[in-house]
Amino acid sequence: MTKLEDKIKHAVQDKKPKPKSYFVIQNTLREIIVAILWLACVVLLGAIIYLLQYFPWRVFIRPRFFLHGMAGLPWELVFLAALLIVVLYFLTKNISTFYRHRNILIAALVVSLLAGYFIAELSGLNETIAKAKPLKPLYQQYGKFIAPERFPGTIGEITSVSENQITLLDQQGNEWTALIDDRTKMPGSLAVGKRIIVIGAINNHEIKAQEIGEFAGRRGFGNGRPAGPRRMY
């Protein structure tokens, strides 16, 4: 026996192996955290996709609205989702199948998240979560109920049309007056009841309209039911 072996055996003599249950509990806790994070990612993905569906992409057509458009995208949700995915990646990358074949891990994450998103939408889980009392304020700001102030334009239903102004009612029931002049870019026809988006500087419920466009957002979502308890415009 070498000196080193002797030293090691001597050092190990007083030690006791940790029980199997210690590692079982540790692994179970990790799996629970992974499951919670995964579910949070699925819900976030649902909220992001929902917001993007309603996003007035036409603002990007005109370069001067580019920054408005970029600012209106749900970056904080995207950032949060990306952060959760990175944490998920690090929590699962020590599993031998995954680190040996990193592509499998990435594909498994993407596929499971997308599958989870569709299941959550079709089963109405996202809808239920959106209506849950503690989460409602969050969703009012970011998710299912879409706050108009997030967007680079004001969205609403036309209540009256005159030569130099349009009145519209937004989703919260607020009335807005869009002031029109020669420079305002407008769609072909504007009629009462039509949903529009008005882009321009806002001053106390008055919008100096630079561009008005028809709003192409859907009224229902996924399972055909209304997106939230409130009337969509």
Partner 1 sequence: MPLSDEELAQLCRQDSKHFDPLVTRYAEKIRRYIARLIGNWQEAEDLTQDVFVKTFTNIASFNPKLKFSSWIYRIAHNESVNFIKKNYRHRIVEFSDEIKNKLVDHGTNYRMILEKENTQAIRIGLAKLRHRDREIIELAYFEQKSYLEIADILRISVNSVGSMLNRAKKNLKKIIAKNDQIRR
Interface positions with partner 1 (CB under 8 A): 1-2, 4-5, 7-9, 11-12, 15-20, 22-23, 93-94, 96, 99-103
CB of 30 to partner 1, least distance (A): 12
Instruction: Tell me whether residue 103 or residue 203 sits nearer to partner 1 (CB atom).
Output: 103
Determine the Cα–Cα distance for residues 86 and 89; give it in Å rounded to an integer. 5
Mark out the alpha helices in the chain (DSSP H runs): 3-13, 20-54, 66-72, 75-92, 96-100, 102-122, 125-131, 136-141
Instruction: Tell me whether residue 100 or residue 133 sits nearer to partner 1 (CB atom).
Output: 100
Instruction: Tell me whether residue 73 or residue 87 sits nearer to partner 1 (CB atom).
Output: 87
Determine the Cα–Cα distance for residues 67 and 57; give it in Å rounded to an integer. 12
CB of 33 to partner 1, least distance (A): 18
- Token pair recorded at residue 179: 């002031």
Determine the Cα–Cα distance for residues 215 and 57; give it in Å rounded to an integer. 10
CB of 191 to partner 1, least distance (A): 60
CB of 217 to partner 1, least distance (A): 43
Place of tokens 């996924």: 222
State the DSSP code for 135.
G
Instruction: Tell me whether residue 2 or residue 203 sits nearer to partner 1 (CB atom).
Output: 2
